[in-house]
Amino acid sequence: MDTIQKSFLGCPYCNIASGKENDTVFIYDDAQVCAFQDPNPDSETHFLVLSKVHIHDYNSLTEKDIALLEHMQAIGNKLLDQANQKKLPTKMGFLPTSFSRVNHLHMQCLTLPLKCNWMRKLLYTPFIFFDSHDLVEELKESCYNL
């Protein structure tokens, strides 16, 4: 019930996370997060891990969310390990709001190489893509500096 109260009306990912949208098959699901294949994959393995509560984007995260973010990472790593039989290099992180299809915190988990066009490949460069480990470090630093 908690998830529904915290969901944001009209947000497609809140609909998916609360199970109201039946077309999305979860590859992982628990009380805090769920994961599903990206409908427009940019690489051989490409899935999203999203928070069940509506968080607009990574800029809205505070030190209170470090545990959630670390949980998202743990799930992302576990699912990547399972899917990535070829042991390809992987990437995990976030795109800024302006480059996201949906503004609800979701972590991109991919194997490399990317298979999208060069324009989309730019999204995954360090200029735009925020690596999830760097994000956790930044949040931890920000609470020491308070």
> Does residue 99 sit in helix, strand or coil?
helix
Residue type at 86 in one-letter notation: K
Of 61 and 80, CB closest to Zn ion: 61
> Which CB, 61 or 83, lies closer to Zn ion?
61
What is the smallest separation between the CB atom of 101 and Zn ion, expressed in angstroms?
12
Cβ-proximal residue to Zn ion, closest one:
11
- Residues ≥6 apart with Cβ < 8 Å to 71: 32, 33
Please report how the helices 66-83 and 132-144 are oriented relative to each other, as an axis angle in degrees rounded to 10.
160
Q: Minimum distance between the CB of residue 15 and Zn ion, rounded to whole angstroms?
A: 8
CB of 13 to Zn ion, least distance (A): 5
Rank residues 55 and 135 by Cβ distance to Zn ion and give the closer one. Answer: 55
Minimum CB–partner distance for residue 140 and Zn ion (Å): 25
**Residues at the interface with Zn ion (CB under 5 A):** 8, 11, 13-14, 54, 104
Dihedral through CA 5, CA 2, CA 139, CA 110, nearest 10?
A: -90
| Separate counts of helices (H) and strands (E) for the chain | 5, 6
Which of residues 14 and 33 has its CB atom nearest to Zn ion in the complex?
A: 14
